[in-house]
């Protein structure tokens, strides 16, 4: 058990560690794996959650540099979510270790 604790503690303090919720990871997976554009309302529908859940998850992922948020030129109410290069790299690492 001491080995497991030591390994977990080392990972938490490593540069590879990040704190993400299941909603954030699912959102990153969708925007990386499915072709866009990804509107907040469509992501909420796809994940079976309310739009505020997507907004909170997106805010955290934007802060971590994994996705970006862009407003539609045609309708400023529409917000599009897309992965950054860092988000794509993280998705690839999570998928393939």
Arithmetic mean of pLDDT over the chain: 88
Residue 69 β-bridge partners: 81
CATH code, 20-96: 1.10.10.10
Query: Around Cβ 16, how many Cβ atoms within 10 Å?
Result: 8
Q: Is the pLDDT of residue 19 over 90?
A: no
Domain residue ranges of the chain, discontinuous segments joined by +: 20-96
Do 30 and 66 contact (CB within 8 A), yes or no?
no
Q: Residue 30: what are its φ and ψ, rounded to 5°?
A: -65, -50
Q: Find residue 31's DSSP bridge partners.
A: none
Average pLDDT for 75-97: 86
pTM recorded for the entire structure: 0.80
Whose tokens are 């997507």? That residue is: 54
């Amino acid at each position: 058990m001491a080995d497991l604790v030591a390994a977990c503690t080392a990972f938490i303090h490593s540069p590879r560690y990040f704190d993400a919720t299941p909603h954030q990871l699912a959102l990153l997976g969708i925007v990386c794996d499915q072709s866009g554009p990804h509107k907040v309302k469509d992501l909420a529908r796809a994940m079976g959650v309310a739009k505020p859940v997507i907004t909170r998850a997106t805010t955290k992922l934007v802060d971590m540099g994994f996705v970006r948020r862009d407003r539609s030129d045609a309708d400023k109410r529409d917000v599009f979510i897309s992965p950054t290069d860092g988000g794509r790299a993280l998705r690839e690492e999570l998928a393939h270790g």
